């Protein structure tokens, strides 16, 4: 029996030593001396994710690899973006944020002409390249730079690019938010990229006012808050086509009615009472009901029972489609003021 117990203990010791060895293998020292410790194991799937803590706690790095696409994202201890690298079958891209006095001062996007020198297997080298690498225009196909100017209250009032000469200035009573955001997906079938998003927002939400969103310096969305009862949202969709939605509010007979008018003339209407949804329906430009959902608040006031109807073109009537249940929290409360760029 003692030999058996000894064998079990020896086996446990070997397993423990193996685990320690495995842990050491997940510790990487970059050329600049940063120690990166892998704190997660990648999932056994097409998409794999590794998260690394840095020895001084100043940074965190996430490395994700998908089918033909990947990214490395470095953030500081506050979760702010410092640098990122994204690639797919097409042109890879680097995003960098330079901070001054603890505020972002310069945002850079760089499209790399050729990535043969980039070694994705050497995480430590990539960490140093992204964090410490200098921006040299001659090394890239193209560069987009946003330099931020602040007022005395710490609000961005101007965004400019010295290379292209483009700039955005906030009008009086407005300010700018500027950030690098990720677009695309990690499945290798869609374009993977970053973009600089600039938004001009009103300091005082008093109608009428306009909020604008830019992809870099190109206007892609404009929300016009015409009155407390009407908002018009004009934007460019994913196909590059311009579209417009009009939101309206009406209060009548103890009911609050919200309407969303589409460009094709169809209107989606929702009817509310005391903060709870009673009905949603889509009405065609010919004033016929395309579909309808009726909501009945359950006794616990935490869920709705929902009856769905769809227009039967053969019988020319609304036919009951199905009955389901949905939580009140999943719907929330309609509010025109919530239709903003934030």
- pLDDT tens figures, 132-146: 887 777 777 888 999
What pTM was estimated for this model as a whole? 0.80
Percent of the chain with pLDDT over 90: 51
Specify the 3-state DSSP secondary structure of 82.
strand
**pLDDT tens figures, 143-186:** 899 999 999 999 999 999 988 899 999 999 999 999 999 876 54
Long-range contacts of 56-64 (CB under 8 A, 24+ apart): 59/34, 59/131, 61/36, 61/123, 61/127, 63/123, 64/186
- Cβ atoms within 10 A of the Cβ of 232, count? 17
The answer to whether the CB of 236 falls within 8 A of the CB of 243 is yes
The answer to whether the CB of 168 falls within 8 A of the CB of 147 is no
- CA 229 remoteness from chain centre: 29
d(C-alpha 339, C-alpha 221), whole Å: 12
- Cβ atoms within 10 A of the Cβ of 48, count? 14
272 pLDDT tier (thresholds 50, 70, 90): very high
User: What pLDDT is recorded for position 241?
Assistant: 84
The larger pLDDT score, comparing residue 119 to residue 285, is at 285
- CA 170 remoteness from chain centre: 24
User: What pLDDT is recorded for position 316?
Assistant: 74
Nearest 10 degrees: Cα torsion 187, 113, 117, 46: 0
| Per-domain boundaries in the chain | 228-342
**pLDDT tens figures, 75-98:** 998 999 999 998 876 678 899 999
The larger pLDDT score, comparing residue 249 to residue 120, is at 249
């Amino acid at each position: 029996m003692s030999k058996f117990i000894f064998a079990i203990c020896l086996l446990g010791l070997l397993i423990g030593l193996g685990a320690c060895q495995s842990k050491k293998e997940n510790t990487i020292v970059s050329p600049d001396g940063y120690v990166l410790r892998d704190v997660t194991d990648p999932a056994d799937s097409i998409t794999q994710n590794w998260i690394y803590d840095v020895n001084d706690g100043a940074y965190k790095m996430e490395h994700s690899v998908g089918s033909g696409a990947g990214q490395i994202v470095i953030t500081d201890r506050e979760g702010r973006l410092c640098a990122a690298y994204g690639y797919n079958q097409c042109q890879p891209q680097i995003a960098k944020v330079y901070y001054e006095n603890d505020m972002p001062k310069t945002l850079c996007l760089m499209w790399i002409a050729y990535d043969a020198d980039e070694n994705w297997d050497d995480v430590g080298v990539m960490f140093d390249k992204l964090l410490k690498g200098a921006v040299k225009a001659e090394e890239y196909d193209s560069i987009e730079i946003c330099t931020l100017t602040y007022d005395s209250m710490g609000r961005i009032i101007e965004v400019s690019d010295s290379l292209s000469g483009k700039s955005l200035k906030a009008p009086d009573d407005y300010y700018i938010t500027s950030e690098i955001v990720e677009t695309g997906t990690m499945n290798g079938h869609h374009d993977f990229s970053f973009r600089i998003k600039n938004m001009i927002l009103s300091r005082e939400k008093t109608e009428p006012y306009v909020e604008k969103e830019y992809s870099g310096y190109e206007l892609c969305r404009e929300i016009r808050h015409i009155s407390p009862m009407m908002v018009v949202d004009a934007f460019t969709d994913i196909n590059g086509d311009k579209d417009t939605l009009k939101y309206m509010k009406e209060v009548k007979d103890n009911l609050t009615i919200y309407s969303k008018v589409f460009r094709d003339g169809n209107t989606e209407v929702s009817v509310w009472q005391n903060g709870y949804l009673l009905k949603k329906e889509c009405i065609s430009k010919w004033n016929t009901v395309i579909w309808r959902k009726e909501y009945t608040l359950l006794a616990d006031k935490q869920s709705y029972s929902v009856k769905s109807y769809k227009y039967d073109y053969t019988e020319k009537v609304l036919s009951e489609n199905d009955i389901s249940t949905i939580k009140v929290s999943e719907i929330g409360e309609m509010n025109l003021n919530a239709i903003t760029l934030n």
